[in-house]
Amino acid sequence: MADSVTGRTSKIWRDGDIVNWEDATIHVMSHVVHYGSSVFEGIRCYDTPNGGAVFRLRDHMRRLTGSAKIYRFPMRYSVDDLIQATVDTIAANDLRQCYLRPVVVRTGEQMGFNPENVPVEVFIICWHWGSYLGHDAVEHGTDVQVSSWRRAAPDTFPTMAKAGGNYLNSQLSKLEAKQNGFAEGIMLDSAGFVSEGSGENLFLVRDDVLYTSQMSNGILHGVTRDSVITLARDLGYEVREMQMPREFLYLADEAFFTGTAAEITPIRSIDRLPVGEGKPGAVTRSIQKEFMGIAKGRVADRFNWLTPVPSPVSAKA
Ligand code: PMP
């Protein structure tokens, strides 16, 4: 059978045990298959001159336990347990860099969507994954459209929870964009203000000020977004988290997406209108450079964002 995951590895953490990739299966009658009941994370481990290092691991695990709390998943693991499990998973696969996917799933074979008493399992998977929108997009920018699909209204699906079901909305936006010849869709919130990409947060730059949607615009509270806000302010830029009308997208000098998978991907056009000069701008470049510099250990980790992982067995003397 062909591997459906490019860059797959050999071991997966399953509720405290390290199991073979092939054995990390669930039943078709699992609650999650029918009702989308999962919460998850996307995390990156980078290869640095001092060995592998996971980027903002504690913040990701805090978001995971928060997502689980919102949906009332019983969690047997603390943030510290999950941090240790992540390091163990990377070590079991003998890796220095990877993408990590912790996922909490209602795997119990129980029908009816009421989730009470449905058994829950936790998995941590890792594999090799390049930048989500592609290396070319990271270098030259990407072309996007405003989606006709909106982010969920605040009293429908909680967008601060990174839940599997939310990604049906993302899939519609992404599919629409791809079928229209764009790489990605930017969704508006239920009131028509700018929200975010299908799997990324969004920043605009105008007159050297950075703008990004606020939490109440139906966004996921991105770890990369938070890192960019911190870095931009540290580099002397003003950052405003605010409600933005759609047309502000067309007036930006620069625009970029942020996300663990997408990292920092410049946007060169929106709805076929060029963003600024239609290529990545100077502010985007300076933030991209600083962010990747810290993640890859080339710039001092002054915000304490990296968790070292044990050196792979093969790298030991
Ligand atoms: N918004 C959505 C909908 C996402 O799926 C992601 C990726 N997790 C992000 C934003 C960016 O979040 P982060 O920077 O924490 O990866």
Q: Looking at residue 131, what is its pLDDT? A: 76
For the chain, which domains are there? 11-127 (3.30.470.10), 135-280 (3.20.10.10)
Q: Could you identify the atom of ligand 1 that is nearest to the CA of residue 261?
A: 16
CA of 116 to the centre of ligand 1 (A): 28
Q: How far apart are CA 61 and CA 68, in angstroms?
A: 10
Tell me which residue has its CA closest to atom 10 in ligand 1. Answer: 200
233 Rama sector, left if φ>0, alpha if ψ -120 to 50, beta otherwise: alpha
CA of 317 to the centre of ligand 1 (A): 38
Q: How far apart are CA 246 and CA 192, in angstroms?
A: 7
pLDDT of 5 > 80? The answer is no
Q: Is 296 a catalytic residue?
A: no
User: What is the DSSP track for 37-49?
Assistant: -EEE--EEEEEET
60, 129, 133, 200: residue to mutate for ligand 1 pocket, most atoms within 8 A of CB: 200
Q: Which spans in 93-243 are helix H?
A: 135-140, 166-179, 223-234
Q: Looking at residue 159, what is its pLDDT? A: 95
Q: How far apart are CA 68 and CA 75, in angstroms?
A: 7
CA of 102 to the centre of ligand 1 (A): 14
Q: Looking at residue 174, what is its pLDDT? A: 98
Q: What is the DSSP letter of 315?
A: G
Summary mean pLDDT of the chain = 95
Q: How far apart are CA 232 and CA 221, in angstroms?
A: 17
Residue 190 tokens read as 């239920």
Reported as a pLDDT band with limits 50, 70 and 90, residue 266 is very high
Quick check: helix, strand or coil at residue 226?
helix
Q: What is the DSSP letter of 238?
A: E
Model confidence, pTM: 0.95
Residue 104 tokens read as 């909490």
CA of 1 to the centre of ligand 1 (A): 31
Catalytic residue among 11, 162, 178, 289: 162
As a whole-number percent, the residues of the chain with pLDDT over 70 amount to 96
Q: How far apart are CA 186 and CA 108, in angstroms?
A: 35
Q: Looking at residue 312, what is its pLDDT? A: 61
Q: Looking at residue 2, what is its pLDDT? A: 36
Reported as a pLDDT band with limits 50, 70 and 90, residue 129 is confident
**Which residues lie with the beta carbon below 6 Å from any ligand 1 atom?**
42, 170, 196, 199-201, 220, 222-225, 258-260
